[in-house]
């Protein structure tokens, strides 16, 4: 308890899945949290559930990560409610599969508009606040597909490699101004987003391919976000941290 006392955090995609687990973990450690998501019903339901324990330490705001004006409104409103943001869990994103020869260009553009542009806009907007305060931690959600390729993930992997690269460049730029930037690279995590792509059979297959012989759950990911948000990681920036059950511990033959 108390590892995130005095931390004021925005969690994008915080209504469900991995994002909701991050929200819960942040609140449990003493942070003030905004759940920022386009999933309004799920977000409001989560706030209602959490308010009984955490009161006004958490609220929901509808937020489109691909819209600069939505970011400005989110960060300004957050500052008015809690004070200057000093943690961003840049978690929101979408997943689409498609063969490189067949994927429609509009699907490719959608992935980049949400995943890569959304991450960039988040860093840009909060950095303007954090650098004035000379403190802050930005945690960008990439993927193991930001570390290596996978068939039918050319576009998705492109967005996640982009997040990895932007993280390192921003870490160098913002470090002298007191702001740390790191990327988290989950493997297969059983969330509503991943479950729609193959269901239980996909989960079983994924579990068979990693050292720990199971897929992850959101609660496996959230503690890493707590660490990176806290002052315990004060000398960690520009890092890429895989949390994947051992998926990236080896190489693959034939995909």
Query: Which residues have a catalytic role annotated?
Result: 156
The Cα 33–Cα 122 span in angstroms is 16
Task: Give the DSSP letter of residue 55.
Answer: G
The Cα 212–Cα 200 span in angstroms is 17
Partners of 242 in beta bridges:
185
Residues 6+ apart with CB under 8 A from 126: 10, 75, 85, 88, 136, 138
Residues 6+ apart with CB under 8 A from 254: none
Closest CA to 160 of 136, 130, 179, 184: 184
């Amino acid at each position: 308890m108390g590892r995130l006392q005095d931390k004021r955090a925005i969690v994008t995609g915080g209504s469900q899945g991995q994002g909701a687990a991050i929200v819960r973990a942040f609140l449990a450690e003493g942070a003030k949290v905004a759940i920022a998501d386009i999933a309004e019903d799920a977000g409001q339901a989560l706030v209602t559930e959490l308010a009984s324990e955490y009161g006004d330490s958490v609220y929901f705001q509808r937020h489109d990560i691909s819209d600069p004006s939505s970011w400005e409104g989110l960060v300004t409103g957050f500052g008015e409610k809690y004070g200057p943001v000093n943690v961003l869990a840049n978690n929101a994103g979408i997943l689409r599969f498609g063969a490189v020869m067949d994927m429609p260009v509009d699907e490719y553009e959608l992935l980049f508009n949400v995943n890569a542009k959304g991450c960039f806009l988040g860093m840009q907007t909060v950095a303007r606040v954090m650098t004035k305060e000379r403190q802050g931690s930005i945690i960008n959600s990439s993927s193991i597909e930001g570390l290596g390729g996978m068939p039918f993930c050319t576009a998705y992997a492109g967005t996640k490699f982009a997040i990895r690269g932007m993280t390192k460049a921003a870490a160098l730029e913002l470090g002298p101004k007191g702001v740390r930037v790191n990327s988290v690279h989950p493997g297969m995590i059983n969330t509503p987003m991943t479950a729609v792509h193959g269901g239980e059979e996909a989960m079983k297959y994924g579990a068979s391919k990693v050292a720990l012989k199971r897929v992850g759950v959101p609660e496996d990911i959230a503690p890493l976000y707590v660490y990176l948000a806290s002052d315990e990681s004060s000398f960690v920036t520009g890092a890429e941290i895989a949390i994947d059950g051992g998926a990236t511990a080896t190489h693959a033959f034939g995909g």
